[in-house]
Amino acid sequence: MKQESVLSKINNPEAIRELKPEDLLLLAGALRQEIIDVIATKEGHLGASLGVVELTVALHYVFNTPVDQLIWDVGHQAYGHKILTGRRDQFATNRQWQGLSGFPSRAESIYDTFGTGHASTSISAALGMALAHQQKKDSRAHIAVIGDASIAGGMALEALNHAGVSTANLIIVLNDNAIGIDPSVGALKHYFEKVKQQNTSSENIFQALNIPYTGPVDGHDLEGLIVAFQKIQKQKGPRLIHVVTTKGKGVEQAELDQVTYHAPGKFDRKTGILVPKTERPTTKYQDVFGKTLVALATQNDTIVGITPAMPTGSSMKLMMDAFPERSFDVGIAEQHAVTLAAGMATAGFLPFCAIYATFLQRAYDQVIHDVALQNLSVVFCLDRAGLVGQDGPTHHGVFDIAMLRTIPNMRILAPRNEIQLRNTLYTLQLEIDGPVAIRYPRGYGKISNWELPFEKIDLDRGHCLKEGKEIAILSVGTMGDNVNEALELIEDRCSPSHYDLGSIKPLDDSLLHGIFKTYTTIITVEDSALAGGAGSAVLEWANAQGYSQTIKRIGIPDHFIPHGTTAQLQQEVGLDAAGIAAVVLDLQK
């Protein structure tokens, strides 16, 4: 039987269990090639899924999925799982508008038993399922597949602590490839390296937690994996199997450059060589942040950089290369990152804590209790604020304004372009007095010459960008670009004014009084949740001041936004230029 023919016969895991043992290797080879072929042209998370091909086949062969419940931590590595569970024909739509999700989704398949997208949740979820089924006298297995980077997260350690005193039918598969998106960090990483080198069965950290340990097992030895899983399947209670894999397995370039090939974009499916990307005349916002932080740290030796496992994605890597002693990658530990920053702030340092907007949710209590309550000077640099595109609802950074606006002492700033972001960072390190959050989007800006001499700016002030009449549009951050495009579309039919709100908290009282005394209709535009967002702040302010003008808010509605390109999603919710223009014209009638 050929590789292609064996994969074509697999529409569900039951078909895998009917294969002859020698055909399982063919299936693994075909599965790996299918992932390569599709992701080469459609893009997505390559390295993680290539690294678990044999593991995926072995799990579905040995365990009776979906009765036995399989949970993939984060879910970057679940492409093979999706192909083998009836979604091969749809796989080319992965991460595309109205296509398959890039992560496991309960709404998509009964084989996706728990939705994931953020790290370190799988053991807690699997343990919860196992304890619930134990109450029902249901003996099915619950398998959590978690990476060495994710298992170091606080939530995973909390779950291990609980699992060790339970009798639940829980199997933890530690997928150890020594890397998350960037290389793994911390003491646990070094511990796992020692275990792999010694290859010993002496008591280890998991056995000390009353969780029996098996391993290390070669994660690319399919026959050995099946034997190990069949053995562990017969055991009782919580147990852990340590599987060693190589991220990017099967594509030489992906194995050698695991950071780039985590999500490489388009590449040649035969050679693995990346397809050259069109040169852009502008810079990613994350690089504006990273380069500016290095420049400021050169002048100010109190500046330190902190990131929870995203040095490359946030461009904190630039700071780590320039000032390694003043930069800290703390691993997948957002709570720790925030309180670490708070501790450093008490000692006179100025921490710039770079966290994706969607991941700051994971440290909300620490922002309130450890930073804001003590009014400590920590700068939260919220990369990827707003709609982020194909990663979908687990990654959209749309709740940060509503989440932070209620916190006393917190300032929230939304620079409208690269130059304002650069000068905001510069000004804060001169005059900060308490916690500040700066939000900026994923992707490229529109200004090529942004590395101008630093200029101190008034951070609490908004600005008039275009004077008009009757209607005033208040835009938040880079949404000003969409508003400008909208005004160009309707310039021959009406001429509203356009203002950059600037500071979301505190609001610019002087600017708002001027606007509300001049215009009959106010429109707010933000790429964040309408409930509790910047538009809500303006509404509350107007009510408190006794103004009664019509106020129309444009932003993210009260439901989770799916995946697709950012342009498609903005069009879907009416945040694109055409959508904004339509609202303006409707209000002018």
Q: Are 1 and 26 in contact (CB under 8 A)?
A: yes
* Mean pLDDT confidence for 165-174: 97
Residue 300: φ, ψ to 5°: -125, 105
The angle at the Cα of 544, spanning 541 to 545, to the nearest 5 degrees, equals: 85
Active-site residue, from 334, 416, 422, 505: 334
- Listed in sequence order, the residues at least 6 apart from 100 whose beta carbon sits closer than 8 Å to its beta carbon are 82, 87, 90, 91, 93, 94, 108
DSSP label of 560: -
The angle at the Cα of 218, spanning 212 to 223, to the nearest 5 degrees, equals: 100
Is 247 annotated as catalytic? yes
Closest to 162 (Cα-Cα) out of 91, 95, 237, 52: 237
Q: Is the pLDDT of residue 520 over 90?
A: yes
Domains of the chain plus CATH, in order, are 3-260 (3.40.50.970), 285-439 (3.40.50.970), 463-588 (3.40.50.920)
pLDDT tens for each residue of 299-353: 999 999 999 999 999 999 999 999 999 999 999 999 999 999 999 999 999 999 9
Burial string for 459-480 (b: 16+ CB within 10 Å, else e) reads: bbebeebeebeebbbbbbbbbb
Tokens in use for 66?
Answer: 């979906």
Q: Is the pLDDT of residue 461 over 80?
A: yes
What is the pLDDT, as a whole number, of residue 202?
A: 57
Give the strand order in the sheet containing 213-218: 69-72, 142-147, 170-176, 239-244, 213-218
Is 4 annotated as catalytic? no
pLDDT over 90 percentage in the chain: 87
Lowest mean pLDDT among 21-30, 103-112, 175-184, 577-586: 175-184
Q: Are 44 and 95 in contact (CB under 8 A)?
A: yes
> Residue 317, SS3?
helix
pLDDT tens for each residue of 188-245: 888 888 888 876 555 688 999 999 999 899 999 999 999 999 999 999 999 999 999 9
| Chain mean pLDDT for the chain | 95
Closest to 452 (Cα-Cα) out of 307, 295, 302, 303: 295
Is 470 annotated as catalytic? no
Rounded-to-integer distance, Cα 274 and Cα 197, Å: 33
pLDDT tens for each residue of 71-102: 999 999 999 999 999 999 999 999 999 999 99
pLDDT tens for each residue of 8-36: 899 999 999 999 988 999 999 999 999 99
Q: What is the 3-state secondary structure (H, E, C) of 481-521?
A: HHHHHHHHHCCCCCCCEEEECCEEECCCHHHHHHHHCCCCE
What is the pLDDT, as a whole number, of residue 183?
A: 84
What is the pLDDT, as a whole number, of residue 4?
A: 65
What is the pLDDT, as a whole number, of residue 126?
A: 97
pLDDT tens for each residue of 113-135: 999 999 999 999 999 999 999 99
pLDDT tens for each residue of 535-578: 999 999 999 999 999 999 999 999 999 999 999 999 999 999 99
Q: Which residue has the tokens 């670009």?
A: 481
Q: Are 512 and 538 in contact (CB under 8 A)?
A: yes
What is the pLDDT, as a whole number, of residue 588?
A: 85
Active-site residue, from 32, 249, 362, 405: 362
Burial string for 481-496 (b: 16+ CB within 10 Å, else e) reads: bbbbebbeebeeebbb
pTM across the whole model: 0.94
What is the pLDDT, as a whole number, of residue 363?
A: 97
In Å, what is the CA distance from 378 to each residue of 83, 318, 397, 494? 44, 20, 20, 43
Confidence of residue 61 (pLDDT cuts 50, 70, 90): very high
What is the pLDDT, as a whole number, of residue 2?
A: 67
Kindly give the pairing relationship between strand 503-505 and strand 497-500.
unpaired
Q: Is the peptide bond before 441 cis (omega within 30 degrees of 0)?
A: no
Burial class (CB in 10 A: 0-12, 13-18, 19+), 67: exposed
* Mean pLDDT confidence for 452-473: 96
* Mean pLDDT confidence for 431-448: 96
Tokens in use for 298?
Answer: 């050169």
- DSSP one-letter string for 92-134: GGTTSTTS--SS--TTT-TT--S---SSS-HHHHHHHHHHHHH
The rounded Cα 549 to chain-centroid distance in angstroms is 38
> Rounded to a whole number, what is the distance in angstroms from the first to the last CA of the chain?
69
pLDDT over 70 percentage in the chain: 98
What count of other Cβ atoms lies within 10 Å of the Cβ of residue 16? 24
In Å, what is the CA distance from 168 to each residue of 69, 236, 582? 13, 8, 56
Instruction: Give counts: helices (H), strands (E), the chain.
Output: 25, 17
Considering only residues 452 and 202, tell me which one the structure prediction assigns the higher pLDDT.
452
Confidence of residue 369 (pLDDT cuts 50, 70, 90): very high
Confidence of residue 279 (pLDDT cuts 50, 70, 90): confident
Rounded-to-integer distance, Cα 475 and Cα 2, Å: 58
Q: Is the pLDDT of residue 3 over 70?
A: no
* Mean pLDDT confidence for 450-458: 97
The angle at the Cα of 332, spanning 440 to 272, to the nearest 5 degrees, equals: 80
- DSSP one-letter string for 371-397: IITTT---EEEEET-B--STTGGGT-B
Catalogue the E-assigned strands of 309-413: 327-329, 350-356, 379-383, 411-413
Q: Is the pLDDT of residue 46 over 80?
A: yes
